[in-house]
């Protein structure tokens, strides 16, 4: 069982993790965090579970959440517009990539808009949701799922085996979940502060250092569209900029990207 009290004792954060709700099992930490936010849970409150029975991903996809992974959601209440709050998923993606690289020596990659990969396979997914209040947001919930102490070949469903990986698979052994959770919270806390004080530019610059899909031919799916082109950039709105085969340049604000073989 995760020793949350031990983590909180020496957690070096300004805002995140002062209140942490730990559960052995939950449907989805994002769903519970949203309910708590509706009941006025304060900024920085975290819901973490050992496993999820209805873990959710983007576009209504399921997020496989067996024991051994890290599943948590952070409630944030920044005084910013929905358009700015949409960039928080990049802040979270960067936090994960930097921790995996700096603390575990893994060659982490960020993939637009909010995945973290190692060796081309997904190790972490992020689900950002928000409730708006006029021009501003009431709250944002950032859900982070990391495949940690699980063996993907042995324990994951067949359809995920070639696209997913875990820290155990890449690191070559188990890591301490408490330690990883603490490092992620501290990194996310400092990047969140930086984002609020200085804006998106520096966060994006750091995020791009890990974005190995840039400069490569990719396939983008956005809504009903499926297009192929050269990934040129992620702009300061968080949009993916692609040069299509006919030379036209197109921006995507939502969608998914995969490397074209
Ligand atoms: C994706 O890759 O599409 C996003 C996956 C996000 C999964 C995390 S696990 C913790 C939080 N609770 C959820 O139900 N989803 C997010």
**Residues 26-59: tens digit of each pLDDT:** 999 999 999 999 999 999 999 999 999 999 999 9
Does residue 173 sit in helix, strand or coil?
coil
Return the residue matching tokens 């990883």.
Answer: 180
Q: Is 127 in the pocket of ligand 1 (CB under 6 A)?
A: yes
For ligand 1, atom 11, which residue shows the shortest CA distance?
143
Residue 1 has pLDDT above 80, yes or no: no
Asked whether the beta carbons of 114 and 207 are under 8 A apart, the reply is: no
Q: What is the enclosing helix (H) or strand (E) of 217?
A: strand 217-222
Q: 60 — phi, psi (to 5°)?
A: 70, 15
Contact 184, 104 (CB under 8 A): no
Picking from 139, 17, 150, the residue whose alpha carbon sits closest to that of residue 79 is 139
Predicted pLDDT of residue 3: 80
Q: Is 58 in the pocket of ligand 1 (CB under 6 A)?
A: yes
186-191's contacts with Cβ under 8 Å and 24+ in sequence apart are 186/11, 186/12, 186/13, 187/95, 187/98, 187/99, 188/16, 188/74, 188/91, 188/92, 188/95, 189/13, 189/14, 189/15, 189/16, 189/17, 189/44, 190/13, 191/91, 191/94, 191/95
Q: What is d(CA 34, CA 41) in angstroms, rounded to the nearest whole number?
A: 9
User: In this predicted structure, what is the pLDDT of residue 232?
Assistant: 98
Q: How confident is the model at residue 18 (pLDDT cuts 50, 70, 90)?
A: very high
Q: Give yes or no for residue 224 having a pLDDT over 70.
A: yes
CA gap 258, 220 in Å, rounded: 7
Residue 12 has pLDDT above 80, yes or no: yes
Query: Does the CB atom of residue 64 touch ligand 1 within 6 A?
Result: no
pTM to 2 decimal places: 0.97
Residue 226 in this model has a pLDDT that exceeds 70: yes
Residue 261: its pLDDT value, please?
Answer: 67
Mean pLDDT of the region 138-147: 98
Query: Closest Cα to residue 147, out of 135, 163, 158, 159?
Result: 163
pLDDT tens-place string over residues 104-123: 999 999 999 999 999 999 99
* Mean pLDDT of all residues in 206-227: 93
The answer, yes or no, to whether any atom of ligand 1 lies below 6 A from the CB of 49, is: no
Kindly indicate the confidence band of residue 223, based on its pLDDT and cuts at 50, 70 and 90: confident
pLDDT of residue 40: 96
Query: In the prediction, which pLDDT does 149 show?
Result: 98
Nearest CA to ligand 1 atom 15: 56
CA of 64 to the centre of ligand 1 (A): 9
Tell me the three state secondary structure of residue 163. coil
Residue 113 CA to ligand 1 center (angstroms) comes to 14
Nearest ligand 1 atom to the CA of 49 is 10
Note the pLDDT of residue 48.
98
Domains of the chain by start residue, with CATH: 4-209 (3.30.930.10), 217-259 (2.30.30.100)
Give 187 Cα–ligand 1 centroid separation in angstroms.
19
Task: Answer whether residue 179 shows pLDDT above 90.
Answer: yes
Banded model confidence at residue 77, pLDDT cuts 50, 70, 90 = very high
Q: Which of 20, 23, 25, 30 to mutate to test the pocket of ligand 1 (most atoms within 8 A of CB)?
A: 30
**In Å, what is the CA distance from 111 to each residue of 21, 193, 239?**
29, 23, 12
44 CB near ligand 1 (under 6 Å): no
Whole-number percent of the chain with pLDDT over 90: 93
Collapsed DSSP state (helix, strand, coil) of residue 242:
strand
Answer whether residue 248 shows pLDDT above 80. yes
pLDDT (tens digit per residue) in 183-214: 999 999 999 999 999 999 999 999 999 999 99
Strand pairing partners for 209? none
Question: Ligand 1, from 21, 67, 71: best to mutate by most atoms within 8 Å of Cβ?
Answer: 71
For residue 66 and ligand 1, the question of a CB distance below 6 A is answered with: no
Structure tokens at 105: 């020596």
Which residue's CA is minimally distant from atom 2 of ligand 1? 125
Q: Give the number of the atom of ligand 1 that is nearest the alpha carbon of residue 30.
A: 12
């Amino acid at each position: 069982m995760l020793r949350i009290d031990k983590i909180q004792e020496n957690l070096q954060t300004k805002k995140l993790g002062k209140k942490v709700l730990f559960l052995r099992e939950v449907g989805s930490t994002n769903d519970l965090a949203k309910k708590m936010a509706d009941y006025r849970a304060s900024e920085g409150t975290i819901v973490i579970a050992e496993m999820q029975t209805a873990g959710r991903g983007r576009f209504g996809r399921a997020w496989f959440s067996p024991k051994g992974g890290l599943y948590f959601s952070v409630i944030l209440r920044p005084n910013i517009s929905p358009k700015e709050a949409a960039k928080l998923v990049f802040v979270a993606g960067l936090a994960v990539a930097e921790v995996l690289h700096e603390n575990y020596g893994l060659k982490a990659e960020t993939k637009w808009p909010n995945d973290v990969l190692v060796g081309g396979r997904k190790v972490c997914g992020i689900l950002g949701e928000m409730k708006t209040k006029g021009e501003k947001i009431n709250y944002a919930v950032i859900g982070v799922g990391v495949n940690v102490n699980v063996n993907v070949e042995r324990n994951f469903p067949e359809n995920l085996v070639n696209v997913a990986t875990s820290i155990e698979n890449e690191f070559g052994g188990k890591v301490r979940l408490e330690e990883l959770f603490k490092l992620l919270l501290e990194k996310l806390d400092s990047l969140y502060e930086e984002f609020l004080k200085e804006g998106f530019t520096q966060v994006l610059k750091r995020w791009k250092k890990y974005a190995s899909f840039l400069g490569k031919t990719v396939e983008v799916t956005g809504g009903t569209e499926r297009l192929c082109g050269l990934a040129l950039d992620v702009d300061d709105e968080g949009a993916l900029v692609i040069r299509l085969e006919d030379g036209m340049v197109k921006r995507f604000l939502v969608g998914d990207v995969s490397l074209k073989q």
